[in-house]
Homo-oligomer: A and B are copies of this chain.
């Protein structure tokens, strides 16, 4: 008679599996809560203590950690001496180990639980049995998750009780995934502290959510991984997301959430090419398009309010890649769905983006905190000329957007929208020239225009070029050794300048 050891916290599907096992002549060995629920369902169970002749001690802390159990799990079925050793301790082979672990993860999310109580949920016996069975997968089958039971039963029935090598190995693999995640979660709980330092180790354990069509380029494969509980966004319609879509969607969500005003942003090639506030979404969309009516073609469009049918009708006119919003009316969604390829993404407005981002480089990973709080309290007007209220609103708007433009980043804006963007140049003055060029191409004049720079001006040339075109207000971090000279020239040109004391340099 085959033997199955069952000890599960998560009781899903355990009755079905157990009945299946009994029907297939398994003896079921169990204890505690699992034993009780099986017996309540008229399933015959042998108690673990009957096998070990050993009563559980210390409120169950030590139940299964016994040589008769581990001998039965670890014995190689094809090794005669192992089988003799088993006999000598009056034990026999265990064929199947069905175990899942104390719910440490769920408990860790219960903020009422103290650390001392939480550690009671560290499972010791469970991982030991699972790991032993997984190591010995050629002799023993380990099922660590209710999701695996059905496959097991199907294969068992089909192949008259034989589970093939690949399936066994797959089950074993799942065990090590489970135990590594489990201990990594515990480690993270032990590591929690209030200091600003980054943790001494980087432990990431995520599951594949889906494969992408491809990575940055068609010859690159790519997948998206998340924690199973995280659902920051949902795709309601359209083609599969591309690799770059992910970054652009994140940027669009971050940008529109910088503003309390109703607003719209358009991202193209990972840079904002349009942004505007308006009295409603339609006005803000039209205005955002006006920033660069050529480049917005194929863009990712983000909103911070619910999309209505009126807006949806406008959004299906041009070719766009994605629409990103916190909510959408049903009829608006129906309209957007008419364009089959158009991706519609709804984001969770209550989601907090992680404060830590990581990225692989040079045979390792770089991790950094990403908190960049809007720091108006640290701003200083360093020039004789001061911005008026309208200019100040424009400076605020430009500073919020320049953070999302790739360095060297220049944004020219007024108090309603951006009107020119210069990005990714190796020299700052080149970005200034490009931004000015864009303004001109798109028919903007520079009255009330401000210029925002993500890092300090190393020379005064940028200010001179901008001022020649009529720009009179500047915002930048400051911090150059030439600051004094730059303030002097600004005063000479009668322009205003704010030092924010915070650099927003991003690639």
Contacts and interface: CB of A to CB of B under 8 A. Distances in A.
Interface of A: 52, 54, 57-59, 61-62, 65-67, 69-71, 74-76, 79, 81-82, 85-86, 88-89, 116, 119, 122, 124, 127-128, 131-132, 134-135, 137-138, 169, 172-173, 176-177, 179-184, 186-187, 190-191, 196-209, 211-212, 215-227, 230-233, 243-244, 246-247, 249-250, 268-271, 273, 292, 294-295, 351, 353-354, 356-372, 406-408, 421, 423-427, 430, 434, 502-507
19 contacts: A65-B65, A119-B135, A176-B187, A176-B190, A180-B187, A201-B225, A204-B204, A206-B364, A216-B368, A221-B369, A222-B368, A223-B367, A225-B365, A226-B363, A230-B364, A243-B368, A247-B361, A356-B360, A430-B434
A269 B66 contact: no
A183 to B, nearest CB: 4
* Nearest 7 Cβ contacts at the A-B interface: A424-B424, A215-B368, A226-B364, A180-B183, A173-B190, A232-B363, A222-B368
Contact of A224 (B52, B176, B201, B366): B366
Nearest to A364: B226
Contacts of A177: 183, 187, 201, 203
B131 A222 contact: no
A124 B270 CA distance: 48
A320 to B, nearest CB: 14
A218 to B, nearest CB: 6
Nearest to A182: B180
Contacts of A209: 364
Given A173-B190, A208-B198, A224 B65 contact: no
B434 A217 contact: no
Contacts of A212: 366, 368
A203 B202 contact: no
Nearest to A223: B198
Given A216-B506, A243-B366, A354-B360, A67 B74 contact: no
Given A198-B222, A219-B502, A406-B406, A206 B362 contact: no
Q: Count chain B CB atoms within 10 A of each CB in A176, A231, A427, A505 and give the residue with the most.
A: A176
Nearest to A52: B67
A367 B198 CA distance: 22
Nearest to A170: B190
Given A176-B187, A179-B183, 14 more contacts: A58-B86, A59-B81, A70-B124, A122-B131, A180-B205, A184-B205, A217-B504, A218-B503, A227-B364, A354-B363, A406-B424, A423-B424, A424-B424, A434-B434
Contacts of A434: 425, 430, 434
A79 to B, nearest CB: 8
Q: Count chain B CB atoms within 10 A of each CB in A52, A59, A124, A212 and give the residue with the most.
A: A124
A399 B374 CA distance: 41
A403 B264 CA distance: 32
B62 A74 contact: yes
A76 to B, nearest CB: 8
Contacts of A65: 65-67, 69-70, 128
A208 B203 contact: no
Nearest to A66: B67
Contacts of A351: 363
Contacts of A207: 200-202
A288 to B, nearest CB: 14
A269 B187 contact: no
A177 to B, nearest CB: 5
A196 B183 contact: no
Given A67-B57, A198-B222, A361-B250, A131 B127 contact: yes
Nearest to A115: B169
Q: Count chain B CB atoms within 10 A of each CB in A187, A217, A364 and give the residue with the most.
A: A364
B208 A196 contact: no
B58 A62 contact: no
A362 B352 CA distance: 10
Contacts of A424: 269, 271, 406, 423-425
A426 B246 contact: no
A220 B365 contact: no
